[in-house]
C-alpha cells in the first residue's frame, strides 16, 4: 500500500507564495503520475496540476503562470510552488499518485489527507 503525506499549507496574504510537498511511502511501488487537486468549500474536487514520471506537466487554466508542479523521483516526492496567490485559491489541497505496487504488480491510486490553504488579508 502506498501512503501519501502532504505538508506546507497555511494562511497567506493575497499575492503571497506557498510551497506544498507530498511524499509517498511504502514498498515495492513505482509511481507514474503525481498530481495536486483542490477542493473549495461546497465545490467538487478539481485537478490543479499533474506531472508524469518523465516530467511532462499540465495545469488548470486558473493556475497557469502562477503555480509550478515538480517531482523528485528518487524521493518519490511531488511539490507545488504556488505564487501570486488569490483568495479564490483557498481550498484543501490533495496529493494524488498513480502507479503499480506489490507482487504481482497491481495498479494503485492513492490520496493524501489534504492540507488547507487559506488566502486572505
pLDDT confidence bin for 1, thresholds 50/70/90:
confident
Per-residue b/e over 10-38, b at no fewer than 16 CB within 10 Å? Answer: eebeeeeebebbbbbebeebebebbbbbb
- Tell me: pLDDT of 107 over 90: yes
6-64 tens-digit pLDDT: 999 999 999 999 999 999 999 889 999 999 999 999 999 999 999 999 999 999 999 99
pLDDT confidence bin for 113, thresholds 50/70/90:
very high
Q: What are the E-state strand segments in the chain? A: 3-7, 10-12, 18-25, 29-39, 46-52, 57-59, 67-72, 77-82, 91-101, 106-111, 115-119
Amino acid at each position: 500500500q502506498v501512503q501519501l503525506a502532504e505538508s506546507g499549507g497555511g494562511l497567506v496574504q493575497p499575492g503571497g507564495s506557498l510551497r506544498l510537498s507530498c511524499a509517498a511511502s511504502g514498498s515495492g511501488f513505482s509511481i507514474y503520475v503525481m498530481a495536486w487537486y483542490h477542493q473549495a468549500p461546497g465545490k467538487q474536487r478539481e485537478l490543479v496540476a499533474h506531472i508524469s514520471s518523465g516530467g511532462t506537466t499540465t495545469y488548470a487554466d486558473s493556475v497557469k503562470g502562477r503555480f509550478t508542479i515538480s517531482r523528485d523521483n528518487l524521493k518519490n516526492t511531488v511539490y507545488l510552488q504556488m505564487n501570486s496567490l488569490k483568495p479564490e485559491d483557498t481550498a484543501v489541497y490533495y496529493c494524488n499518485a498513480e502507479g503499480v505496487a506489490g507482487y504481482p504488480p497491481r495498479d494503485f491510486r492513492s490520496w493524501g489527507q489534504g492540507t488547507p490553504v487559506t488566502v486572505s488579508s
